[in-house]
């Protein structure tokens, strides 16, 4: 598959996604242009309903836009079938959600291993890698606990480990600190960004929180992406503007 | 971590639903296996038990099946009697146009008594049962002890003595010959292996026959016929194991049997009352059956011809009768098997419903797995795997239940049907049954699996439940 932009991690052009509810069609998101370099840490902001999560799902290959070109980590997602997109997501993208989305019946270690199972495979040294990751985030003694037995901060760290288990090129985070106090959330985000920075991973984070957005290298207001704009804004300005 | 471990965990977290659904699989599999086991072991038992019983002479007016079931398998009551002369005809060549006997042996039997609450049947016979009778081409082997001593000649002598006494009474002689006495040396018994095992009997122990069956109306013990055990047979895995053999002399002389010792031959123009006053023939001593083994194929044909028109007796051929009987059992087993399959089908539907109903609450869980990169096929595999594992464990437990039931009910089943259930035997079809039930379970899981695999990822990831 021909690469549109060999040097870019994310390359979106003229992307649009709508939903049909009854006889109404609702435009969920529209992005004329968005380019993100490898290793960049980008906050994606915008008011509620602006389509931030939809864009994130399109970048992950969970949703297929109605139109437009999408290239993520060297793959043309708009031209790929669902199974190929699933495979691409599992191998190249790590995801962290606001609600953490850990599977309650499984232990912390199993949740992390599940990321490997559906990504690059849970064989080989996957278990050792998962244990090392959990150890690294301070959960070495909690890896056999279920999510219900962990604090919110610990659950978040498990979710981060799961996102990192396949050593992805791209990490997508959807309001990852939304359920935490600022101090804990800040620590976790710093840890995540440090890991990403060390390994030159690209991070795209959807957030409402200006403090979180400030920690990123670049902030992109989703509303500015409609039209010809693809403008870097300071976190302070755009978060204020988006409210 | 593997997909199967996710399936297993999903079954475990819905333990109550899993157990309840599995119960229906267990019941269906156990039912089906029990039907097959019963049919198979009945067939093996019946086919295996006829070795040695080549021909059975019994009274006319009863069915061949009844005769075979009673004589070989101890099922039911003896439905009539034949005179000793039938046995004598077989042993000599009397009554046929051939000069020599057509059988290798002809052993008289009389039954009607039993022993213990298990109602082990008592068969009165002669010592040829242990010297000439061949069980699968070998004489019966003794685990302990030896046969009792009661020969054909002893029987003939006793018959003559009884007839002389009876004829003296009927002729109202001044000096009536004494009725032969029950001799102490006859009070000997040989018991089958299961009798010895069940009643914990050993050599020298005494068994007391009960007329009829214990618990039945008019059943009573014969203490005068209490016999010491002189021999315990080796197991044959046939009804022989459940039989007690006594000398025919005991049977003929114990209290209450005297009136029925002789069968009066019907004479044209004589009423039954008139017949009762007529002299008796020693060879009219009553038996319930004669076991015979034709010399060869020709001997079989001659016996068929000879007894085809016999006025008092018939010959049944277990090799012919038992397969017909088994075909009838087979038909019944097939009908039951259909019912078992229907139960299994209902169980499969219950799997479909049980898993399908969880799909709504599992949309988020599935969406999370999909977001981690799980393909639809993997989701399909996980859910189908749950149904398959559920069925697999249900089938295995069903077989365990079946074997446990065989273990606990083997005594009762043997008493009721004469079939000894060997619970230790595992057959290849049991593996196929487990695979088949697991396959049915997998198919039953397909509908919910397809529904699960179609879960919309984005919609269900963003919802908070």
Averages of pLDDT over each 10 residues, chain B, 465 residues: 87 89 91 86 75 81 86 78 89 64 87 74 92 85 94 92 87 83 89 89 89 67 86 87 90 68 78 78 89 83 81 87 81 81 87 87 89 91 94 95 90 71 84 94 93 85 56
Contact B461 A113 (CB under 8 A): no
pLDDT at A239: 40
| Residue numbers in A near B370 (CB within 8 A) | 62, 86
pLDDT at B464: 47
pLDDT at A7: 78
| Residue numbers in B near A99 (CB within 8 A) | 464
pLDDT at B259: 54
Of A102, A103, A118, which has the smallest distance from its Cβ to B378's Cβ?
Answer: A118
Contact A106 B457 (CB under 8 A): no
Contact B9 A82 (CB under 8 A): no
For B12, name the nearest residue in chain A, comparing CA atoms only. Answer: A105
Of B3, B376, B458, which has the smallest distance from its Cβ to A63's Cβ?
Answer: B458
Contact A60 B371 (CB under 8 A): yes
Provide the chain B residues 375-414 that lie in CB contact (below 8 A) with chain A: 375-378
| Residue numbers in B near A162 (CB within 8 A) | 372
| B146 in reach of chain A (CB within 8 A) | no
Q: Which residues of chain A are at the B interface, by a Cβ-Cβ cutoff of 8 Å?
A: 53-54, 57, 60, 62-63, 82-83, 86-87, 89-91, 95, 97, 99, 101-103, 105-106, 110, 113-119, 122, 126, 162
Mutate to test the interface with B, among A51, A103, A158 (most CBs of B within 10 A): A103
Contact B375 A91 (CB under 8 A): no
Phi (first) and psi of residue B125, to 5 degrees? -155, -165
Per-residue pLDDT of chain A (243 residues; tens, 9 = 90+): 445 555 788 998 889 888 887 888 888 888 888 899 999 999 998 888 788 888 999 999 998 899 999 999 888 998 998 889 998 998 899 988 877 888 888 999 999 998 888 887 767 788 899 999 899 888 889 989 999 999 888 888 898 899 989 889 899 988 877 666 666 667 777 878 888 888 889 999 998 888 888 888 999 888 776 654 444 444 444 443 333
- How close B46 comes to chain A (CA, Å)? 54
- How close B444 comes to chain A (CA, Å)? 24
Q: Which of B40, B159, B104 is nearest to B433 (CA)?
A: B40
Contact B461 A101 (CB under 8 A): yes
Contact A162 B372 (CB under 8 A): yes
| Residue numbers in B near A57 (CB within 8 A) | 457-458, 461
For B465, name the nearest residue in chain A, comparing CA atoms only. Answer: A99
| Residue numbers in A near B380 (CB within 8 A) | none
Locus of tokens 């403090």? A211
Contact A87 B375 (CB under 8 A): yes
For A64, name the nearest residue in chain B, comparing CA atoms only. Answer: B458
pLDDT at A184: 66
pTM score:
0.70
Of B12, B370, B464, which has the smallest distance from its Cβ to A86's Cβ?
Answer: B370
Structure ipTM: 0.84
| B195 in reach of chain A (CB within 8 A) | no
pLDDT at A240: 38
Of A53, A82, A117, which has the smallest distance from its Cβ to B462's Cβ?
Answer: A53
pLDDT at B245: 94
- How close A116 comes to chain B (CA, Å)? 9
Contact A114 B369 (CB under 8 A): yes
Distance CA A192, CA A94 (A): 12
SS3 A204: strand
Contact A118 B464 (CB under 8 A): no
Contact A97 B461 (CB under 8 A): yes
Strand partners, A96: A173
| Residue numbers in B near A89 (CB within 8 A) | 371-373
Q: Which of B112, B135, B116, B149 is nearest to B231 (CA)?
A: B149
| B465 in reach of chain A (CB within 8 A) | no
| Contact call for residues B315 and B87 (beta carbons, < 8 A) | no
Contact B373 A54 (CB under 8 A): no
């Amino acid at each position: 598959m021909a690469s549109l932009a060999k040097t870019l991690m994310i390359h979106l052009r003229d992307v649009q996604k709508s939903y049909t509810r009854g006889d109404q069609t609702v435009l969920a998101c529209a992005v004329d242009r968005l380019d993100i370099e490898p290793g960049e840490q980008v906050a994606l902001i915008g008011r509620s309903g602006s389509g931030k999560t939809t864009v994130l799902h399109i970048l992950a290959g969970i949703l297929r836009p109605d139109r437009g070109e999408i290239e993520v980590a060297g793959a043309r997602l708009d031209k790929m079938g669902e199974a190929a997109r699933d495979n691409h997501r599992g191998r190249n993208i790590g995801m962290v959600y606001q609600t953490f989305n850990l599977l309650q019946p499984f232990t912390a270690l199993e949740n992390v291993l599940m990321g490997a199972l559906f990504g690059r495979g849970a064989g080989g040294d996957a278990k050792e890698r998962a244990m090392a990751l959990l150890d690294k985030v301070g959960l070495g003694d909690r890896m056999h606990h279920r999510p219900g037995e962990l604090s919110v901060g610990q659950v978040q760290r498990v979710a981060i480990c799961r996102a990192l288990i396949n050593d992805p090129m791209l990490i997508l985070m959807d309001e990852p600190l939304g359920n935490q106090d600022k101090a804990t959330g800040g620590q976790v985000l710093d840890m995540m960004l440090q890991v990403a920075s060390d390994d030159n991973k690209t991070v795209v984070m959807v957030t409402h929180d200006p403090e979180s957005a400030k920690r990123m290298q670049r902030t992109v207001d989703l509303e500015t992406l409609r039209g010809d704009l693809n403008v870097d804004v300071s976190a302070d300005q755009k978060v204020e503007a988006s409210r | 971590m593997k997909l199967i471990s996710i399936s297993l965990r999903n079954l475990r977290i819905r333990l109550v639903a899993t157990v309840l659904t599995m119960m229906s699989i267990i019941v269906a599999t156990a039912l089906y296996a029990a039907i097959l086991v019963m049919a198979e072991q009945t067939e093996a038992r019946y086919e295996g038990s006829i070795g040695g019983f080549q021909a059975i002479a019994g009274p006319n007016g009863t069915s061949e099946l009844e005769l075979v079931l009673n004589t070989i398998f101890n099922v039911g009551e003896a439905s009539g009697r034949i005179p000793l002369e039938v046995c004598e005809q077989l042993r000599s060549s009397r009554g046929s146009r051939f000069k020599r006997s057509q059988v290798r042996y002809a052993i008289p039997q009389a039954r009607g008594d039993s022993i213990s609450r298990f109602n082990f049947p008592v068969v009165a016979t002669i010592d040829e049962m242990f010297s000439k009778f061949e069980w699968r081409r070998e004489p019966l082997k003794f685990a302990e002890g030896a046969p009792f001593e009661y020969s054909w000649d002893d029987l003939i002598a006793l018959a003559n003595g009884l007839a002389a006494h009876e004829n003296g009474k009927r002729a109202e002689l001044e000096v009536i010959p004494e009725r032969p006495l029950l001799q102490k040396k006859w009070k000997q018994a040989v018991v089958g292996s299961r009798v010895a095992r069940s009643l914990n009997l050993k050599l020298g122990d005494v068994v007391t026959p009960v007329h009829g069956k214990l618990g039945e109306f008019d059943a009573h013990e014969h203490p005068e016929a209490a016999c010491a055990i002189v021999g315990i047979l080796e197991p044959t895995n046939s009804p022989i194991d459940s039989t007690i053999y006594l000398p025919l002399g005991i049977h003929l002389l114990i209290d209450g049997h005297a009136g029925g010792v002789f069968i009066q031959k019907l004479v044209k123009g004589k009423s039954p009352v008139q017949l009762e006053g007529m002299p008796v023939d020693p060879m009219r001593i009553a038996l319930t059956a004669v076991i015979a083994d034709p010399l060869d194929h020709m001997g079989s044909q001659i016996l068929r011809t000879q007894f085809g028109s016999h006025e008092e007796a018939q010959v049944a051929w277990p090799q012919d009768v038992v397969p017909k009987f088994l075909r009838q059992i087979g038909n019944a087993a097939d009908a039951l098997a259909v019912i078992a399959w229907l139960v299994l089908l209902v169980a499969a539907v219950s799997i479909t419903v049980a898993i399908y109903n969880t799909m709504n609450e599992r949309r988020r869980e599935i969406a999370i797995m999909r977001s981690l990169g799980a393909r639809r096929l993997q989701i399909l595999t996980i859910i189908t795997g749950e149904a398959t594992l559920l069925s697999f464990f249900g089938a295995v437990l069903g077989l365990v239940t079946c074997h446990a039931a065989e273990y606990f009910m083997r005594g009762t089943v043997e008493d009721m049907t004469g079939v000894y259930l060997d619970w230790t035997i595992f057959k290849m079809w049991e593996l196929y049954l487990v695979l088949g039930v697991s396959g049915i379970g997998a198919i039953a899981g397909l509908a919910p699996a397809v529904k699960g695999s179609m879960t919309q990822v984005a919609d269900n990831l963003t919802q908070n439940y």
